[in-house]
Structure 1
Amino acid sequence: MSDYSIQEFLEKTQRKAAGGSFSLQSSRILEINLAGQIWAKMGSMISYTGEIKFERERAFEHGVERMFKKTFTSEGGELMKANGRGKLFMADQGKQITILDLDHRKITVNGNDLLAFEPTINWDIQMMRKVAGMMSGGLFNITLEGEGKVAITTYFEPLTLLVKPGDPVYTDPSATVAWSGHLTPEFHTDINYRTFLGRGSGESIQMKFEGDGFVIVQPGFETE
């Protein structure tokens, strides 16, 4: 049904009561009950109530080392800081949102798929040296660790693959959303004369995960 009276539409789409710091108003809209500060992807705010101020991440806000990574490796996403008290609503191009409670665990997230995280979480840019020159635009990833909530985004329903010793998992870099923080992916190439002749599968670069952990992938992604 897509034909509503005004009252029916309001009842169907109005904000639902939510609890906790992070909650979902729908599978594609994140609500943050802000009472202090959070970090979020630049441009992800769609609405808010209360007294909230937004500020772009300053060049040296997180130290010289992180600024060096962002400037000289082209790795690192644009972050904004939201300060204040109120209800903050966030989204990212209609992508599906998943809220994760780290509970003192570590996870690495593709920078394009990280929506927001609480300030109690320690984070750093994960340098992907081997990808330089292999993919246009490269990749940047952010490792998060500690206690607090993290919101990630995916195109449609995510799939989690378990990585076991002796049984590596290979993924398309563009489809790879996140993985266990202690895993270190390697880039595996499958380039032969068919690739250069335009007859290959197109999957000439893959990420290879070995060890004991998990990898989260998505079934859709943007292509250049």
Structure 2
Amino acid sequence: MSNYSIDEFIRKTKQDEAENEFFELETERILEVNLSDQVWAKAGSMISYNGSIKFEREGILEHGVGKMFKKAFSGEGSSLMKAAGKGRLYLADQGKKVTIFDLNNESITVNGNDLLAFEPGISWDIKLMKKVAGMVSGGLFNVTLEGRGRVAITSHYEPLTLLVRPGEPVITDPNATVAWSGHLKPEFRTDVSLKTFIGRGSGESIQMEFKGEGFVIVQPFEEVMTTGNGSS
């Protein structure tokens, strides 16, 4: 059904007043944050809020000099904003599907473009993939998050989780790779032969190879990595 009266449409799409978890999926593409203190979120991801909430762009020295230098090389896509106060905050990112993880002293590494929000008690660190910075549009960076608390990530369409087992490595396209077990260290490799079949005139096909034991989350979409001007 696509024809509604105004009242029918409101009933079908209105926010759920009963939900009060810190992170809630208001829809599969909108994250509701029931804020009572503060939260870190991707800069520019706020679509609506109510209550008394103040937004502040991440300070250049907010997390120490080491992370400041990493940010300088990882592009605008790694920028975070801090939302502080009390109220309901709604976050989204280009209509991408939102998934919430509840970390229990675990770690997960997320592609910088696909991190939407996380609780302030979670520790994090930016990792720049230097080997492919000049080979993939805009370079690649990821964020490793660990501790206890919720993390919200995004993906284009339905994500698929691939299991990595000893002796059975998983190989992915970097532009389709969303997240992976925090302890896995992907290796980058190029496949020169691919461009012969695809007809690419320049550049080699870059692949990520995951070895060991864990998981990798991919999406059915090759995302153009964020460049320094914040576009994607």
- Relative to the length of structure 1, the TM-score reads 0.94
Cross-structure match for 1:25: 26
Matches within 5 A, 1:48-197: 48-72=49-73, 74=75, 77-192=78-193, 195=195
Q: For residues 106 and 51 of structure 1, do their structure 2 counterparts lie closer, same or farther at Cα, with a shift above 3 Å needed?
A: same
Cross-structure match for 1:12: 12
Q: How many residues align?
A: 222
SS at match of 1:147: strand
- Relative to the length of structure 2, the TM-score reads 0.91
SS at match of 2:37: strand
Shift of 1:70: 1.4
For 1:30 and 1:73, the matched residues in 2 are separated by: 25
**Kept after mapping to 1: 8 A contact 2:111/2:177:** yes
For 1:170 and 1:187, the matched residues in 2 are separated by: 9
Shift of 1:128: 1.2
Question: Unpaired segments of 5 or more residues in structure 1?
Answer: none
Cross-structure match for 2:44: 43
Question: Unpaired segments of 5 or more residues in structure 2?
Answer: 225-231
Shift of 1:136: 2.0
SS at match of 1:10: helix
Moved over 3 A (4+): 72-76, 221-224
Q: For residues 169 and 203 of structure 1, do their structure 2 counterparts lie closer, same or farther at Cα, with a shift above 3 Å needed?
A: farther
Deviations, residues 149-182 of structure 1 (Å, cap 9, x unaligned)? 0000000110000001111100000100000000
